[in-house]
Amino acid sequence: MESILKSLYLSDLTLLELAGAMRREMDRGLAAKTNEGAEMRMLPTYVTGTPDGTEDGEFLAFDLGGTNFRILLVKLVAGEHKNITMNSQIYHISQEIMTGTGAQLFDHLVECLWDFLSEREITSQLLPIGFTFSFPSNHLGIDKNILLCWTKGYTASGMVGEDIGKLLNEAIDRKSKIRPLNFDLKIMAIMNDTVGTVVSCGYDDNDTCMGMIVGTGTNMAYMEKQENIELLEKKTPASEMCINAEWGAFGDKSESLKAIRTEYDIYIDENSPNKGQYIFDKMISGMYMGELLRLIIVKLISNGEIFEEIAPDSKIFSPGLSAAFVSHIVNFNNDNDQIRQCVARFGLIASDEDCNKLVQLCEAISKRAAYLCAAGVVTVAQKIAENRGPDAKMTIGVDGSVYRKHPTFAKLLHSKVRDLGGDLNVTFHETTDGSGRGAALVAAVECRLQNIRTKVPNQTEE
């Protein structure tokens, strides 16, 4: 038990070393010659501006990035009383669809879209779509991006290397032949959830320059000077562009994380569908947090150090613990009756000492995840401070279930950023629905830039 807790502990010195390595990988990712081998992917997104309040109309937002697909109808009202209203529906993506073929996945998305539209009275003639696609993709334009690899348990075949917008349009065309619609759907923009978070938070706070997700997966996007983005062949007139760092890939190609990976992290990676990829992601995000705890518990059981009483049909010996389980245990610290109820569902009978050990383990796993994120936030904030000046005010929009629902994660992250970041002027802004609101706003900005009018009822009467 003691050696496990020790292996999960990260000192400030270790975190600062990691931050240094992350910074090197950021620079390598931004440089044309080294981008290919860099661990921070630093993908240009073609999102250059945040909304200016003149965005108006009805938009559809799609959000795919985990076990659910969400569709939102977003109404933006411009001007002094600018406001956003949203009507959304969640559709489940089964394991079968996640791991089937790309065509099955996209046909399913379009099936959901038809269900959504047929249930609502839509007034627009043109429905611009903002699509949040939260997987590593290489943008060739704001509405054209190529899937680089899957993460978060997805393996749908035939999609890596393909243009996501094209696949969605093809699936919409297939469906329209069977059941035509009386209005146009137009994909205006495709983006990562971190990018949507920057834009959504930027709508409320002008100092927003970073967007972070800590949920099923983890990642960061931030505003970078275009002159520093060597990879970008055609610069746009704007001075900055949002970069999708894909920090989850940190540790993939070098030894940067080797010293701090535990045998459990290695086991998780080796048994994942994307073995050897997204090592940082696997040490932090909600997708793996419960499994990490489970592997440690199984090890302690085999050492005779925890849970002497185990039901013969205990579920602890096969995957099934969630990040929510870790959150509950941290939350129930000092309430052993609640902890006993939680573990009973897995066929475990906990003594007071077991409860105490479980809390310590969950706290250590959560703290490690929060501290690794803190090292990342400080690295990116330092880069922005170099670009914008040391006193620059930096707001970071944050979303994701781990950040929002875990009882101590956010506090641990904030305080570690203060410890490591010295004078950096960073403010955290929890942004619920970066992917929905953000997607609609990016689509709206794009419509404005391309001079496309979206009809809303009061415009129809003009």
Q: Which residues contact 288 (CB under 8 A, 6 or more apart)?
A: 268, 281, 282
Of the residues 108, 152, 175, 282, which one makes contact with ligand BGC according to CB under 6 A: 152
Closest to ligand BGC by CB, 57 or 290: 290
Task: Please tell me which residue in 75, 152, 175, 357 is annotated as part of the active site.
Answer: 152
Near ligand BGC by CB under 6 A: residue from 57, 248, 290, 397: 248
> DSSP secondary structure string, 196-255?
HHHHHHHHH-TTEEEEEEESSSEEEEEEEEGGG-TT-SS--SSSEEEEE--GGGTTSSSS
CA end-to-end span of the chain, whole Å? 72
Tokens of 348: 């475990």
Q: Which of 132, 145, 151, 336 binds ligand BGC (CB under 6 A)?
A: 151
- 186 is known as an active-site residue: no
Q: Does 134 participate in binding ligand BGC (rule CB under 6 A)?
A: yes
Q: Which of 55, 281, 363, 446 binds ligand BGC (CB under 6 A)?
A: 281
* Contact region with ligand BGC (CB under 6 A), list: 132-140, 199-207, 322-330, 349-357: 132-140
Of the pair 213, 443, the CB lying nearest ligand BGC is at 213
Q: Are strands 240-244 and 43-44 parallel, antiparallel or unpaired?
A: antiparallel
With beta carbons less than 8 A apart as the criterion, state whether 220 and 377 touch.
yes
Contacts of ligand BGC in 316-335 (CB under 6 A)? none
- Min dist CB 90 to ligand BGC, Å, is 16
The nearest distance, CB 161 to ligand BGC, in angstroms, is 16
Question: What does the alpha-carbon distance between residue 92 and residue 97 come to, in Å, rounded to a whole number?
Answer: 10
> Distance (Å, rounded) from C-alpha 384 to C-alpha 209?
8
Contact 185, 60 (CB under 8 A): yes
Q: Side chain identity at 175, as an amino acid letter?
A: K
CA distances 1 to 8, 221, 295, 300, 369, Å, are: 11, 37, 13, 7, 19
Question: Closest separation between CB of residue 48 and ligand BGC, Å?
Answer: 19
Instruction: Please report how close the Cβ of residue 41 comes to ligand BGC at its closest, in angstroms.
Output: 9
Of 260, 251, 248, the C-alpha closest to 286 is: 248
| Binding residue (CB under 6 A) for ligand BGC from 44, 217, 290, 421 | 217
Task: Examine residue 136 and tell whether it contacts ligand BGC (CB under 6 A).
Answer: yes
Q: State yes or no: is 337 an active-site residue.
A: no
Crossing angle (nearest 10°) for helices 164-178 and 102-119: 60
Select the residue whose beta carbon is closest to ligand BGC and give its number: 217
Binding characters for ligand BGC, 292-321, by CB under 6 A (x = yes)? ------------------------------
Rg over alpha carbons for the chain, rounded to the nearest Å, is: 23
β-pair type (240-244, 309-310): unpaired
Residues β-bridged to residue 185: 127
Lay out the site mask for ligand BGC across 169-198 (x = CB under 6 A, - = otherwise).
-----------------------xxx----
Per the structure block, which two tokens stand in for 322? 């969630």
Place of tokens 């009882």: 407
Residues between 51 and 80 with contacts to ligand BGC, criterion CB under 6 A: 65
Residue 159 per-residue DSSP state: -
Q: How far is the CB of 179 from ligand BGC (least distance, A)?
A: 32
Q: Given 56, 143, 163, 193, which residue is catalytic?
A: 193
Residue 220's closest CA among 443, 462, 400, 30?
Answer: 400
Q: CA–CA separation, 28 vs 387, rounded Å?
A: 17
Look at the block and give the residue holding tokens 């579920």: 315
| Least Cβ distance, residue 437 to ligand BGC (angstroms) | 16
Least CB distance from residue 392 to ligand BGC, whole Å?
24
Candidate list 46, 59, 62, 135; residue touching ligand BGC; CB under 6 A: 135
CB of 152 to ligand BGC, least distance (A): 5
User: How many residues interact with ligand BGC (rule CB under 6 A)?
Assistant: 17
The verdict on 272 binding ligand BGC (CB under 6 A) reads no
Q: What angle do CA 115, 116, 120 make, to 5 degrees?
A: 115
CB closer to ligand BGC out of 99 and 356: 99
The residues that are catalytic are 152, 193
Q: Which residues bind ligand BGC (CB under 6 A)?
A: 65, 134-136, 151-152, 192-194, 213, 215, 217-219, 246, 248, 281
